């Protein structure tokens, strides 16, 4: 049913796996914004699905995990409405962003574009909200699924549009609570490097062995200086170190995958 105060209905979708510790905060923040919440789960064995049901979410289970792009495309297909918002289970729609999107829906002004870039501001351990110098990415997360769709890549979760698509941006940011602990973060990142290495080798892209020597210091400098983690104290230093370790191990695994492929 379409809310008369929100004449443009909105589906919000998430992909999950064992997100019980963070999911409720994410779903609470969607109150009054989403006409529908779709959760596509890849086989959680904690209380993730119980929490999703408590918030009235439509649940689809698709396991084992097929990769980020395929799982998000499945979530798009499960949505009832054309306008969709994708959030991750560790992201929170802040009050200002919720009101901004709701205003676009109420007025119909959302139709001025086919998709909107949404800033995503990282929140480090010890921070309640993103700090003044928080690093932000701005991918398209709010869009018409009849125009844009997630790419089918297993590792690159980005919405692809035809050349004629109109892309705008919202002002306010999603708050990204990605780091439960620095130990868990590095475990997750290192697991992700395996998918990235497989994808890189499959696409037969050129590779320079020099990156085995340069990737770590370059990645650390990028995070610590350019992403301004240097201004965020010890948590910023640890986040920069984890990023550099992740990038180094990604290159190591790409090198090993290419060497195995050459032998085969």
Q: Is residue 137 in some structural domain?
A: yes
Residue partners of 130: CB distance under 8 A and separation at least 6: 121, 122, 123, 173, 175, 176
Q: Is residue 104 in some structural domain?
A: yes
Tally the domains of the chain: 2
Res 6: pLDDT: 53
- Report which of 131, 135, 123 is spatially closest to residue 26, judged by C-alpha positions: 123
Whether residue 217 is found in the same domain as residue 140: no
Whether residue 63 is found in the same domain as residue 159: yes
Q: Is residue 46 in some structural domain?
A: yes
The 3-state DSSP class for residue 205 equals: coil
Whether residue 195 is found in the same domain as residue 172: no
Angle between the 233-263 and 182-202 helix axes, to the nearest 10 degrees? 30
Res 196: pLDDT: 86
Whether residue 70 is found in the same domain as residue 104: yes
Query: What kind and span of H or E run contains 12?
Result: strand 11-16
Q: Is residue 251 in some structural domain?
A: yes
Q: Is residue 1 in some structural domain?
A: no
Q: What's the rounded Cα separation, in Å, for the pair 207 and 250? A: 12
Rounded to the nearest angstrom, the gap between the alpha carbon of residue 117 and the centroid of all alpha carbons in its chain is 13
Residue partners of 202: CB distance under 8 A and separation at least 6: none
Final residue of a structural domain among 150, 176, 202: 176
Q: Is residue 93 in some structural domain?
A: yes
DSSP secondary structure code for residue 118 in this structure: -
pLDDT (tens, 9 = 90+) of the chain, 264 residues, equals 445 455 899 999 999 999 999 999 999 999 999 999 999 999 999 999 999 999 999 999 999 999 999 999 999 999 999 999 999 999 999 999 999 999 999 999 999 999 999 999 999 998 999 988 899 999 999 999 999 999 998 888 899 999 999 999 999 999 999 998 999 999 989 988 988 888 887 777 888 999 999 999 999 999 999 999 999 999 999 999 999 999 999 999 999 988 888 787
What is the CATH number for 89? 3.90.550.10
CB 125 within 8 A of CB 182: yes
Whether residue 147 is found in the same domain as residue 208: no
Res 16: pLDDT: 98
**Alpha-carbon distances of 16 from 48, 89, 183, 248, rounded to whole Å:** 8, 6, 20, 27
Q: Is residue 2 in some structural domain?
A: no
Cα-based torsion angle of the residue sequence 130, 133, 137, 142 in order, rounded to the nearest 10 degrees? 40
DSSP secondary structure code for residue 13 in this structure: E
What are the tokens at 184? 């868990």
Whether residue 21 is found in the same domain as residue 149: yes
Q: What's the rounded Cα separation, in Å, for the pair 104 and 6? A: 9
Res 2: pLDDT: 43
∠ CA 83-84-90, nearest 5°, is 160
Range of the domain at 133: 11-176
Whether residue 89 is found in the same domain as residue 110: yes
Considering the entire predicted model, what is its pTM?
Answer: 0.88
Whether residue 197 is found in the same domain as residue 224: yes
Q: What's the rounded Cα separation, in Å, for the pair 129 and 199? A: 34
Whether residue 226 is found in the same domain as residue 132: no
Whether residue 153 is found in the same domain as residue 212: no
Angle between the 211-221 and 233-263 helix axes, to the nearest 10 degrees? 160
What is the Cβ-side half-sphere exposure of residue 8, based on CA atoms within 13 angstroms?
19
Query: What kind and span of H or E run contains 100?
Result: helix 95-107
Whether residue 33 is found in the same domain as residue 51: yes
Res 1: pLDDT: 42
Whether residue 89 is found in the same domain as residue 201: no
């Amino acid at each position: 049913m379409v809310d008369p105060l929100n004449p443009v209905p909105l589906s919000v979708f998430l992909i999950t796996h064992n997100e019980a510790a963070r999911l409720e905060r994410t779903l609470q923040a969607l109150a009054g914004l989403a006409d529908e919440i779709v959760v596509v789960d890849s086989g959680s064995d904690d209380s993730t699905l119980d929490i999703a049901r408590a918030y009235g979410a439509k649940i689809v289970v698709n396991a084992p995990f097929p990769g980020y792009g395929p799982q998000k495309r499945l979530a798009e297909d499960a949505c009832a409405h054309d306008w969709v918002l994708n959030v991750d289970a560790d992201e929170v729609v802040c009050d200002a962003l919720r009101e901004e999107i709701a205003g676009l829906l109420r007025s119909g002004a959302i139709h001025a574009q086919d998709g909107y870039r949404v800033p995503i501001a990282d929140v480090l351990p010890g921070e309640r909200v993103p700090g003044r110098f928080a690093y932000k990415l701005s991918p398209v997360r709010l869009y018409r699924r009849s125009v844009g769709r997630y790419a089918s890549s297993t590792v690159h979760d980005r919405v692809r549009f035809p050349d004629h698509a109109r892309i705008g941006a919202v002002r306010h940011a999603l708050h990204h609570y990605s780091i439960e602990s620095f130990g868990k973060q590095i475990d997750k990142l290192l697991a992700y490097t395996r998918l990235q290495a497989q994808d890189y080798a499959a696409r037969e892209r050129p590779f320079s062995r020099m990156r085995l020597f340069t990737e770590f210091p370059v990645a650390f400098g990028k995070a610590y200086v350019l992403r301004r983690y240097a201004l965020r104290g010890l948590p910023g230093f640890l986040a920069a170190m984890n990023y550099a370790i992740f990038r180094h191990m990604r290159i190591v695994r790409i090198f090993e995958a290419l060497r195995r492929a050459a032998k085969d």
